[in-house]
Amino acid sequence: MKYLKSITLILALAFFACTAAFAQEHGEEAEKEGISLKEILFGHVQDSYNWHLFDVNGHPVVIDLPMIFYSQQSGFHVLCTSQFEHHPNAELLREGPDGFAIQGSAEEKGKIVENVNGEWQPVCFDISITKQVCVVFIDAIILLLCILIPARWCKKHKIDDEAPKGFTGLMHMFIMSVYDDLIKSTLGEKADKYAPYLLTCFFFIFFANLMGVMPFPPGGGNITGNIAVTAFLAICTFLITNATGNKHYWMEIFWPEVPTWLKCPVPLMPVIELFGVFIKPIVLCVRLFANMLAGHAIAISLTCMIFIMFAIGGFMGNLLGGFITPVSVLMSIFMMALELLVCYIQAMVFTLLSAIYIQMSHASHH
């Protein structure tokens, strides 16, 4: 039985590799037929001004979202994406009212540009409620509900009441597992001071990840796979770490305990340590971003395999498509399960590393 499983897996992988090679050969053919993996992929993982759900008979079904921006020429504008063309024209512009247009294709979030004397200039202060901003809002609402409902239970009950059941009990257990295993075990006595931030980070990332895995609204927005979101979280950790660091922390950076020649005439170690200060949040930011983006890319690629195969056309394309469909579905299921695991692990890793960085900035002399 054990061997049977391994053999099946190897065969599946071999088959998958062969078809992948074949697909690459014929990929260009497929693209001509109107399927571009890159476009689909970028359309899914990137931001856009409107929320494209699906197409019905070639007509896109979108949720129109407000666009808020400031133009140097005409001040603040609040427009709606429905006022813009859905498909870009030959100049790759989606024209809208008042001489504004969105650069780029329908799926991609380009820039808002304004027609100034025949030239297209980007507007400066663009805080439109895009698809991913929308998902951030939804994520925040879910997060607030998931934490404030159990918190309300706590306010309404005395300590000698019966233990909470159902959702409240689950959330209590979940929160305490994160608090005890990640935060308390790392930060010790100082845990309570930083726990709200770290827990907010954890659950914000966790719910955002889950919503990224969900392929339809309220999910679908890949916000933890967007570098702006992860960069913001990493900057928060960076600020907390450096704002609360004690003198030992700064001494470790500027005057570490190494042989003097490593730091005196040429400040080699201080420079390295100083780089470390900035590399830490960058690593935090990029790890989360890259992991979630890669997960989405793999999931979408696996699904697109089917369409690419059928797009090749002819007998060979249909045959390959028929073969690849079950494999692709199975692999997608596997990837989905893996993604669920990754959702938790990445949230955990981010929180744990943030806690470790904060702990390092509070460490006494060692």
Partner 1 sequence: MSLLTPDFGLFFWMTVVFLCVLGILWKWGFPVIINMVNERKEYIDGSLKKAHEATERLANIQKEGEELLRVAREKQASILKEAKETHDTIVAKAESDAREQANKMIAEAKSQIEAEKAAAIREIRSQVAELSVQIAEKVIRQNLSNDKAQMQLIDKLLDEVK
Nearer to partner 1, 172 or 248 (CB): 172
Q: Which residues contact 36 (CB under 8 A, 6 or more apart)?
A: none
**Shortest Å distance, C-beta 95 to partner 1:** 20
**Shortest Å distance, C-beta 127 to partner 1:** 5
End-to-end CA distance of the chain: 54
**Shortest Å distance, C-beta 25 to partner 1:** 27
Cis peptide before 218 (omega within 30 of 0): yes
- Which of 233, 302, 324, 355 binds partner 1 (CB under 8 A)? It is 233
CA distance linking residue 361 with residue 201, whole number of Å: 19
> Collapsing DSSP states into helix, strand and coil, what is residue 101?
strand
- Which of 51, 204, 310, 357 binds partner 1 (CB under 8 A)? It is 204
- Partners of residue 168 on adjacent β-strands: none
**Shortest Å distance, C-beta 61 to partner 1:** 23
Site for partner 1 in 24-53 (CB under 8 A): 42, 45-47
- Site membership for partner 1, residue 70 (CB under 8 A): no
- Site membership for partner 1, residue 176 (CB under 8 A): yes
Q: Which helix (H) or strand (E) holds 4?
A: helix 2-32
- Site membership for partner 1, residue 80 (CB under 8 A): no
Site for partner 1 in 300-359 (CB under 8 A): none
φ/ψ of residue 272, rounded to 5: -60, -45
- Which of 200, 242, 244, 359 binds partner 1 (CB under 8 A)? It is 200
DSSP assignment of 27-73 equals: HHHHHHTT--HHHHHHHHHS--SSEEEEEETTEEEEE--EEEEEETT
CA dihedral 125, 126, 129, 130 (to 10 degrees): -160
- Which of 40, 147, 277, 356 binds partner 1 (CB under 8 A)? It is 147
The site map against partner 1 for 103-122 (x = CB under 8 A) is -----xx-------------
- Which of 20, 40, 80, 143 binds partner 1 (CB under 8 A)? It is 143
For residues 223-235, one letter each, b for 16 or more C-beta atoms within 10 angstroms of the residue's C-beta and e for the rest, the string is bbbbeebbbebbe
**Shortest Å distance, C-beta 255 to partner 1:** 34
- Which of 59, 87, 155, 365 binds partner 1 (CB under 8 A)? It is 155
Nearer to partner 1, 109 or 362 (CB): 109
Q: Nearest-CA neighbor of 87 among 102, 77, 98, 99?
A: 102
Beta-sheet strand order (sheet of 100-103):
93-95, 100-103, 112-116, 119-122
Q: Which residues bind partner 1 (CB under 8 A)?
A: 42, 45-47, 108-109, 125-130, 132-133, 136-137, 140, 143-144, 147-148, 150-151, 154-155, 157, 159-160, 163, 171-172, 175-176, 179, 192, 195-197, 199-200, 204, 223, 226-229, 231-233, 236, 293
